[in-house]
Structure 1
Amino acid sequence: MKRLLSFFILSVMMISCGGDDDICESGEGTPRLKVTFKNGDKITKLDSLKVYVDYGVRTVDLGWSRNVDSIFIPLRVDESPYTDLFVKRTRKGDSSRVRISYSTKSIYVSPGCGAKLNYENVSGQLLKSNPVIKLETGQNFIENEEKTNLYLVF
């Protein structure tokens, strides 16, 4: 009887520990900036691209992307109204500096996920050109990762 009671209590504890809100795995977290590339007026694939992101405390190397027409970049989640990106096409080449400005809005998701940030009034400013020639604005808010927010023209 004692063994059966222990088994019952252990089973109830194991079942009550799980739940849908324990893990945030449905893409409900803070969305990333979607950047697409253009050559003139046409969307193009780049053979290579390297992006660095200045998160305030440190600059993070997102690594080389090969044969891509778009990338996703996590923006800052602190109180800063902008994130700086550094973009280069070749190992020894210059890098362009792009400033992404925005305002943020915090949205409660669930007990497991907590809150996420949505970005509003998203705009880009080219602070240093070469290799990027100019910027074109896409969707000016980020609620998910479906639409392009910024076009880099090479």
Structure 2
Amino acid sequence: MKYFKFLLLTLMLGMLCSCGGDDDICESGEGTPRIKIAFKNADNDKIITLDSLYVAVDYGNGKVQLGKQQKISSRLIPLRVDDSPYTDVYFRLADKGTESKVRISYTTKSTYVSPGCGLKKTYENLNSDSPTPSNPVKKVEIGQNNIENEDKTNLYLLF
């Protein structure tokens, strides 16, 4: 009985000490936002839906394939979170098709969110260029100039 009381008291103290605050979990959209990219027709400047889109991103250690999506009108893509002033993003419409490289330049600002989330980066002064006129992306247009959340379109790719 003496050991049972000791075990019970230890379990109760352990449960009390293990409780944490609500700010330990970063799940309410407080993290670093992704860039929202939409697609337009180069001929008439209207928003279009692509049948398929393959995306790859260079985060500093070579290209990382983000995979294929079908029947999409916009795509959220994470940018680099290191101190690099740009991110190279590669787009293609077919698995083995030609690829367009788009360099997205920006300045970053870090803000402390909470112990669970850490720092949140926001991207400002967004600028983009396609180094060479290429196929499939013919032109790039800037939408919203800064990325604070994922609600507004930041970049338009013209196909």
Decide: shared fold, TM above 0.5: yes
- 1:97-152 CA distance string (max 9 Å, x none): 10000000001101111111000001110113210110111001000000000000
Query: Helix, strand or coil: the match of 2:82?
Result: coil
Confirm or deny that 1:135 pairs with 2:137: no
1: distance between equivalents of 2:55 and 2:135?
14
Once the two structures are TM-superposed, the CA of residue 7 in structure 1 deviates from its matched residue by 4.3
Which of 110, 113, 130 is the aligned partner of 1:109? 113
Which of 22, 32, 35 is the aligned partner of 1:33? 35
How many pairs does the alignment contain? 152
Query: Helix, strand or coil: the match of 2:137?
Result: coil
Tell me if structure 2 keeps the 8 A contact 1:96–1:127. no
Report the residue type matching 2:68 in the other structure.
W
- 1:22-49 CA distance string (max 9 Å, x none): 1111111100000000113111100011
Percent of paired sites with the same residue: 61
Q: Which residue of 2 aligns with 1:81?
A: 85
Which of 45, 49, 56 is the aligned partner of 1:52? 56
With normalisation by structure 1, the TM-score equals: 0.93
Q: What is the aligned-residue RMSD (CA, Å)? A: 1.4
- Higher normalized strand content (fraction of residues): 1
Query: Helix, strand or coil: the match of 2:22?
Result: coil
1: distance between equivalents of 2:149 and 2:110?
14
Q: Which residue of 2 aligns with 1:18?
A: 20
Confirm or deny that 1:43 pairs with 2:50: no
Report the residue type matching 2:88 in the other structure.
D
Query: Helix, strand or coil: the match of 2:17?
Result: helix
> Any unmatched runs of 5+ in structure 2?
none
Q: Could you say which structure has the larger radius of gyration?
A: 2
- 1:3-34 CA distance string (max 9 Å, x none): 453343233224xx332111111111100000
Query: Helix, strand or coil: the match of 2:12?
Result: helix
The structure-2 alpha-carbon separation of the partners of 1:11 and 1:77, relative to structure 1 and needing over 3 Å to count, comes to closer
Report the residue type matching 1:8 in the other structure.
M
The structure-2 alpha-carbon separation of the partners of 1:67 and 1:10, relative to structure 1 and needing over 3 Å to count, comes to same
Q: Which residue of 1 aligns with 2:156?
A: 151
1: distance between equivalents of 2:16 and 2:81?
39
Once the two structures are TM-superposed, the CA of residue 90 in structure 1 deviates from its matched residue by 1.4
> Any unmatched runs of 5+ in structure 1?
none
The structure-2 alpha-carbon separation of the partners of 1:73 and 1:7, relative to structure 1 and needing over 3 Å to count, comes to closer
